[in-house]
A and B are shown apart, each in its own frame.
Chain A
Amino acid sequence: MSGSFSQQQSVVVVIGSGAGGGVLANALAQRDIDVVCLEAGRRLDMSEIVNDEAAMFGKFTWLDPRESSGQTIPGFPAWTCKTVGGTTLHWTASCPRMQAHEFKARSTYGAIDDTTLEDWPLAFDDIAPYYSAAEQLMGVTGTHGIERLPGNNNYKVLEAGARKVGYRQIDTNNVAINPTPRDGRGACLQTGFCTSGCVVQAKWSTLYTEIPRAEQTGHFELRPECMVTRIAHDDSGRANEVHYIDAGGTPRTQKASAVCVAGNAIETARLLLNSSSDRFPTGLANSSDQVGRNYMRHMIAGVVGRMPGEVNIHRGAHQAGIIKDERGYNPDRGFVGGILMLTVPFAPEIFAKFLQPNGWGPEYADILAHYNHLAAMLIHGEDLPQASNRITLHQQKVDGYGLPIPVVHYEEHPNTAKLREYALSRGRSVYEALGAKDVYDMVNVFPATHNMGTARMGSDRKTSVCNRWGQTHDVDNLFVSDGSLFTSAGCENPTLTIVALALRQADHIAGRVGRGEL
């Protein structure tokens, strides 16, 4: 049964219950370390998860105000989640590993103007065992003897077109979705609603895996609808209290032996910036001035083909289809960074809004009337860290908790623009090879879902916030445990790497607790 801890008891406080926080908290609780997990969002009952995108959007999305700046979607720069389970409710479960060279981005790509590119302070070999553990934990297809999912119609189109243009590395991806019942969860029924929460729990989410398992240890207490406002420290500079507003609106303070922040890259940076003190006047653990900087989000673009026959794109698992031929380092293409092309479905409403962002009239309606003929892919490309892409605090505006809202600023680097043009032309060719009547690009229309880099790891404390364990350079018992840690972005969906880093961090923290250091 769930633990219950007094606010006076010094425990490990984990902020956030998603891929980073949920995994870390459970890994610690399994080792009898007492953990309180503060989650800003509500705990959804499984009966509240339905096959309805618009309804689910309202139930789990982070809708507190954020200011957009630069090339971000006005009013909604990023789609993150405010719910127990965090973005593991909304994610597609796509789990490619980052490639070895991507951990050495600076050494591989060389110096590039207007970037803050660096190598990670850990190598692929350091994280490899944790990738393996993460895959086993989440049940990733194509690993550890877990069969791959069968391909749906959208995948079959992607695969056939890809083969015609000469690609060879095409499969139904590594996804944390059960092809057969496993680990107490059901098998994928190809419902087509991965990103609206998986009704049958075939898709891994901490909501129904790590969180209940942690509760069974008796060493874990989840406090949902608790918004952390500030992390405080003692005279020696160690984090010792977490201030939050509980579900009833009452301010509370939890004593902490260690604090792990996993609120997704925007909220994590915002919380550190909001936790300034005399000792840390520009934000907690921010002596480097790097908190909030180096914000990365991947180049994300859609390519949509109007195919000669029916596709019925809405049927089946969303990202169980991938072309990997373009993911490597190949400067002959005129840019650095890799590209993945993955299947993706959209509902009619999303195509109507974004196929042509200002589209209307008979021809446009005719495309939409042929919804069942549309095939689509989502392209992910690496984007490079830039000091000026950053999360800052708004000088006047506050949210419902009275906290300054985050300003999310992002401008595309010229390398990203070149990568995007190349990727779009390759993506188009896949559908054109199959006789598509028309092909459409969906560019700069999606809010960021892969948010990274805002409290990055590094060997040099002047240019990074955290060390190779995700421990902040400035505060011994303060950790960052989410995508904020990424030194560079790679081109892969970040969740698997977030989970691997959380498992690795759990080993480190448990070791230090065992030695009496925390």
Chain B
Amino acid sequence: MKADGVASIPAARRTKLEPEQRREFLKLLGFAAAGSAAVLSHPLSLSASEADDWNLAGVDAQQGLMLASIARLLFPHPELNDSVYVQVVRDIDADMGQRPDLAKLLQNTAATLEQQVGGDWLAASVPEQVQALKSIEGGEAFFYLRNRTIESLYRNPLVWQLVGYEGSSIEYGGYINRGFDDIDWLDS
């Protein structure tokens, strides 16, 4: 039995960050400052030349930018740097290696969406893009994109940090001494 193993778990404690410290910490982790011009004016602040460097197998730069912008439209967190959404594209690219039908499904979907916004997806306004996405809700491609974005985004430790999920706790000794019962607003 491993009962004696319990004692060897590090007793490290992660202390709660004050709001100011938390913002600094988030910045260090690659979060954009909330409300920055880039994220408000356009869902993506990336360029095609940057996308060229992603080195994806089945997704070209233009399509990659479009997929990243869709991921941000689906689950827009203004504090998140575009790189977090680019990770969604990398995961889609990896899926394509497993699912031969996926590339075609997404190509057809891209064509439908571009038609909806009258041509260039990245040049369209956010309301136009949202309207276009609504038109494919309920379809197979939308289901895939929503699910894939969730599994990529909400398994990402950067996103956990943002929303306040603390992930693996055993290396800190669980929460028995780190706030499992620290709620302080119930009596007020």
Contacts and interface: CB of A to CB of B under 8 A. Distances in A.
A365 B77 contact: yes
Interface stretch (B25-33, B96-104, B111-119, B171-179): B171-179
Interface in B149-186: 150-151, 153-155, 159-160, 162-170, 173-176, 178-186
Contact of B176 (A190, A308, A361, A368): A190
Interface stretch (B1-9, B44-52, B54-62, B83-91): B1-9
Interface string A361-392: 11011001111100000000000000000000
Given A152-B181, A361-B74, A352 B154 contact: yes
Given A156-B183, A189-B173, A189-B176, A372 B165 contact: yes
A107 interface: no
Given A191-B175, A201-B2, A362-B76, 12 more contacts: A51-B170, A185-B1, A189-B173, A200-B2, A208-B1, A314-B165, A315-B179, A315-B180, A316-B175, A352-B153, A365-B75, A434-B186
Contacts of A369: 77, 162-163
A40 to B, nearest CB: 25
Contact of A309 (B153, B163, B185): B185
A188 B186 contact: no
A113 interface: no
Interface residue tally of chain B, by bracket? 35 or more
Interface string A64-87: 000000000000000000000000
Interface of A: 46, 50-52, 54, 150-153, 156-157, 160, 181, 184-193, 199-201, 208, 308-312, 314-316, 347-349, 352-353, 358, 360-362, 364-365, 368-372, 434
Contacts of B138: 358
Nearest to A196: B168
A361 B169 contact: no
Contacts of A312: 164, 166, 179, 182-183
17 contacts: A50-B170, A153-B180, A156-B186, A157-B183, A160-B186, A186-B3, A189-B6, A200-B6, A208-B2, A315-B166, A315-B175, A348-B159, A348-B165, A349-B150, A360-B133, A362-B76, A372-B165
B146 interface: yes
Contacts of B1: 184-185, 201, 208
A190 B174 contact: yes
Contacts, number: 150
B170 A353 contact: no
B130 interface: yes
Contacts of B154: 347-349, 352, 368
B147 interface: yes
From B5, B9, B167, residue with most partner A Cβ within 10 Å: B167
B183 A310 contact: yes
B178 to A, nearest CB: 8
A159 to B, nearest CB: 9
Contacts of A186: 2-3, 5-6
Contacts of B186: 156-157, 160, 309, 434
Closest 8 CB pairs of A and B: A189-B174, A372-B164, A309-B185, A51-B168, A184-B1, A371-B163, A191-B174, A315-B175
B120 interface: no
B175 A348 contact: no
Given A54-B155, A181-B3, A349-B155, A192 B169 contact: yes
A511 B181 CA distance: 49
Contact of A353 (B137, B147, B169): B147
Contacts of B137: 358
Nearest to B3: A186
Contacts of B182: 153, 312
Contacts of B6: 181, 186-187, 189, 200
Nearest to A188: B176
A151 B175 CA distance: 12
Nearest to A363: B76
B142 to A, nearest CB: 9
B166 to A, nearest CB: 6
Contact of A364 (B75, B159, B160, B164): B75
B168 A52 contact: yes
Given A54-B155, A191-B169, A348-B154, A311 B174 contact: no
Interface in B99-150: 130, 133, 137-138, 146-147, 150
B58 to A, nearest CB: 23
Contacts of B169: 51, 189, 191-193, 315
A193 to B, nearest CB: 7
Given A181-B3, A352-B150, A358-B137, A371 B164 contact: yes
Contacts of B151: 54, 349
A362 B153 CA distance: 15
Contacts of A360: 73-75, 133, 146
Given A51-B170, A316-B175, A156 B150 contact: no
A152 B74 contact: no
Contacts of A54: 151, 155
Nearest to B75: A365
A420 to B, nearest CB: 25
A349 B157 CA distance: 12
